[in-house]
Amino acid sequence: MRPLLPLLLILTIPRLANTQAFVRVDATHKIAGPISKSLAPPNRSAPVLASTACGPYAAAKYYDSVPGGGTLNLMSFMDPSPCVGNGKIAFVSQIAGAAYNQGIFWADTTGIHPIVFGSGGGGGSGQPGSAGDPSPIGGKFAGFFEGSMFAPAINAGGDILFIADIYQGSSPRGLFLYKAASASFVKVAAVGDPSPAGGTITEIGPGSMNDPQDVLFAATRTGGNVDILRWTAGVVTKMAAVGDPAPGGGTFQYLVTEALGFVDGTFIPTGPIPAINNSGTICFRAYTNLGGAGLIMKGAHGFSWMVRNGYPTPGGGTYVDFQAPCLNSLGQITFFADVMLGPGNYTSGWFAGAPGAWRKVVMFYDTIGGAQCYGLTYSRNPVTPIDDAGNVVVWMTLQFPDTTQIERILLNKPDGSFVDVATQGAPTPIGGVYGSFDILPSMSSAGAISWGGFTPGASGAVPNAMFIAPLCPATIANVSPAFAPNNGGSTILINGANFTSASAVKFGAANATFSIVNDTQISAALPAAPGFMGYVDVTVTTPNGTAILTNGFDYFVRPKLFGTPTGAPSLSWESTSAPIINKQLVIDIDKFGAGSLAWFWAGDSNTNWAGVPLPLDCGPVGLPGCILLASGEYVISTSDPNPKQSVVIPNDNSIVGYHVFFQAFILDGTTSNFVSTDAYEVVLGP
């Protein structure tokens, strides 16, 4: 039988003045009771749902065999699984049928992989076991901590950060880092270590981690203050401590305000845990002695407020209070916050972005897919729900007009649209349906999503599982236009799907500057290809590979004007046409007078015609306004008031590289004089 677990996660419905937040104490009830809808706008709308997320699969299931023996005794409906890359998760689970009865794992398409085993009654139980793996501080790993506050952090290198109790080690509890490259463990910090903020560490909490293995964590020091500390390459330093100066005045009064107590009489500072990205920027919630509350970023230039109480929200009203800021690699954050819409009128919601570019993700009573948002969860690190494209994944309960409710996991895109990830009652990849979800879905920087939940009716009677929706591969449908001159600079629209996280666009081997219009379109500036003519592949690189449109674009040589016209009319080439085989080329006469007649003159040479050198002054033969610039193998006359020569180039590879010269002669309808235009040299392309 499982030991009693600690408190899992604080859940909210809209918090009102002088009311209490609702608390989840088990895995069966996610919100508690309705609340007066008159306190928030009843029909605040949000965009309708877009298409579903890409191909989810079960990465870990209850009853899965554990390498080394035993089976997973998974509680994926309450244990978050932080995600990296295109779908690698870290999680904690108990184990049935082995001397070691718990472990920390990672999983992806290759299966489940334990990194460390423990034993005993679980973290904080006061019943450490002796069958676990050796710890780096002596003794053995004993109890691991389960629940929403204790998700292990994982980075792109597969390193995993976790908190654990130790049996007969130099400290009873510590924060540890598994280094995937060496399959080894190091201590980040432990109870009893000296604190760089002064005194000793009396309580240690979980932490966040970036790809370079920098760790941020919460620790209580002698005297009871809880500080934010940083571990880098074996050295622990102070990032922010109670009493330090706050930006804009005053000092930090509180940095970590939550703690959980356990059966063994110990406490753990649980958050909100700060965030750190790969550039070393950190973000955390803080309160000051002057009444300030908000989210602070610390980068190369020190501390600054990203957002704070009293600031206007993108969903209306002003911010009142905040939960953890979850940070992506570009310095954008997403967070849960309480909002005051007016005196005595409070609500809450999720927001995302950066100063100057905030957006509302979702607020209570937003309408989504015909139902109103009625349940949300706090933002938590290291469960990061924002990717580097600014997409945010969020759990919510939706209530329909008939008061029925369903849980959904939805992806909110930067344009405000929602994508369905998973819906209560919908089929799962392992059979059965989703019965209920863990309320902290995660997303990698590249956009892969992970979540857990009950799976009633699943194959093999699996009661719950952890799922991953890997990043959908980008696809290119077409480019428009599909041809342009090789001097570059043309704007080319690439149409397809799953472009949000695109990192590179190429035409052949040449990189193009580009902007992501939306998930289905990229606008690219065509790179120049001097001296080249013909087809190249178009490629779009994303974290999930490279999409290729083979021979998707055709470079051609731009028609070249030459000669010296003596009259006002001139030729122009319609840029929507092209001198490419099996395509149409259109040459216009500009400034063509009413009542005029035109003869289009085309030939194979601009140096000789019938033994006569070109250019040729036609004045001696009675046409003083004309200069012959092209040989006249082909002549077409027209009286069209908008004269143009439209030629469909034959679909014949033997003519590729052939030069054609165009000119026009005009009998002016007003003066009855002949004039000639300038000329175009056209090279036929493939």
Summary mean pLDDT of the chain: 89
Q: Are 450 and 493 within one domain?
A: no
* Token duo for residue 409: 């996991």
Q: Are 489 and 528 in contact (CB under 8 A)?
A: yes
Q: Are 337 and 380 within one domain?
A: yes
CATH number for the domain harbouring residue 664 = 2.20.130.20
- Give me the percent of the chain exceeding a pLDDT of 90: 75
**What pLDDT digit, counting tens, does each position of 2-20 carry?**
332 333 333 333 322 222 2
Q: 149 phi and psi, to 5 degrees?
A: -80, -15
**What is d(CA 412, CA 423) in angstroms, rounded to the nearest whole number?**
15
**What pLDDT digit, counting tens, does each position of 554-592 carry?**
999 999 998 876 557 888 899 999 999 999 999 988 877
**What is d(CA 380, CA 322) in angstroms, rounded to the nearest whole number?**
11
The model's confidence at residue 32, banded by pLDDT at 50, 70 and 90, is very low
Q: Are 139 and 277 within one domain?
A: yes
Q: Are 531 and 576 within one domain?
A: no
Q: Are 435 and 328 within one domain?
A: yes
pLDDT given at position 304: 95
Average pLDDT over residues 451-457: 97
**What pLDDT digit, counting tens, does each position of 625-639 carry?**
788 999 988 887 777
Determine the residue type at 458. Answer: A
Q: Are 278 and 346 within one domain?
A: yes
The model's confidence at residue 667, banded by pLDDT at 50, 70 and 90, is confident
Q: Residue 456 falls within a domain, yes or no?
A: yes
Q: Are 146 and 279 within one domain?
A: yes
pLDDT given at position 566: 57
- 37 by DSSP, 3-state: which? helix
CATH number for the domain harbouring residue 262 = 2.120.10.30
Q: Residue 210 falls within a domain, yes or no?
A: yes
CA atoms within 13 A of residue 218's CA, in its CB half-sphere? 31
Start-to-end CA distance of the chain, whole Å, equals: 74
Q: Residue 64 falls within a domain, yes or no?
A: yes
Q: Are 197 and 229 in contact (CB under 8 A)?
A: yes
Q: Are 235 and 349 within one domain?
A: yes
The number of beta carbons lying within 10 Å of the beta carbon of residue 55 is: 12
Short-list 352, 417, 413, 404, CA closest to 46? 417
Q: Residue 265 falls within a domain, yes or no?
A: yes
Short-list 627, 644, 478, CA closest to 552? 478
Q: Are 111 and 473 in contact (CB under 8 A)?
A: no
What is the rounded (10 degree) CA torsion for 121, 126, 130, 131? 20
pLDDT given at position 254: 95
| Window from 246-255, 282-291, 445-454, 637-646 with minimum mean pLDDT | 637-646
pLDDT given at position 53: 62
Q: Residue 566 falls within a domain, yes or no?
A: yes
Q: What residues make up the domain containing 506?
A: 475-555
Q: Are 144 and 152 in contact (CB under 8 A)?
A: no
**What is d(CA 109, CA 470) in angstroms, rounded to the nearest whole number?**
10
Q: Are 481 and 501 within one domain?
A: yes
Q: Are 512 and 505 in contact (CB under 8 A)?
A: yes
**Residue 398 forms beta bridges with which residues?**
373, 406
pLDDT given at position 122: 94
Average pLDDT over residues 262-282: 95
Of 495, 525, 555, the one marking the end of a domain is 555
CATH number for the domain harbouring residue 533 = 2.60.40.10
DSSP conformation class of 429: T
The number of beta carbons lying within 10 Å of the beta carbon of residue 302 is: 9
Core vs surface per residue 519-530: b (16+ CB within 10 A) or e: bebbebbbbebe
pLDDT given at position 501: 76
Sign of CA dihedral 498, 156, 216, 164: positive
Q: Are 570 and 428 within one domain?
A: no
Q: Residue 580 falls within a domain, yes or no?
A: yes
Long-range CB contacts for residues 451-456, cutoff 8 Å, separation at least 24: 451/81, 451/393, 451/395, 451/409, 451/421, 451/422, 452/74, 452/76, 452/77, 452/78, 452/79, 452/80, 452/81, 452/91, 453/76, 453/77, 453/422, 454/77, 455/61, 455/428, 455/430, 455/431, 456/432
Average pLDDT over residues 633-652: 84
pLDDT given at position 40: 34
Q: 247 phi and psi, to 5 degrees?
A: -65, 135
pLDDT given at position 638: 74
**What pLDDT digit, counting tens, does each position of 193-249 carry?**
999 999 999 999 999 999 999 999 999 999 999 999 999 999 999 999 999 999 999
As for how many domains the chain has, the answer is: 3
Short-list 389, 452, 382, CA closest to 419? 389
Q: Are 534 and 660 within one domain?
A: no
**What is d(CA 137, CA 145) in angstroms, rounded to the nearest whole number?**
18
Q: Residue 4 falls within a domain, yes or no?
A: no
Is residue 35 scored above 50 in pLDDT? no
pLDDT given at position 4: 29
Of 469, 489, 512, the one marking the end of a domain is 469
**What is d(CA 371, CA 627) in angstroms, rounded to the nearest whole number?**
75
The number of beta carbons lying within 10 Å of the beta carbon of residue 28 is: 10
Q: Are 457 and 511 within one domain?
A: no
Of 409, 443, 469, the one marking the end of a domain is 469
The model's confidence at residue 52, banded by pLDDT at 50, 70 and 90, is low
| Window from 238-247, 394-403, 670-679 with minimum mean pLDDT | 670-679
Q: Residue 160 falls within a domain, yes or no?
A: yes
Kind of pairing between the strands at 215-221 and 674-683: unpaired
Question: Model's pTM, two decimal places?
Answer: 0.78
Q: 601 phi and psi, to 5 degrees?
A: -120, 120
Please give, one letter per residue, the 3-state secondary structure of 379-422. CCCCCCCECCCCCEEEEEEEECCCCCEEEEEEEECCCCCEEEEE
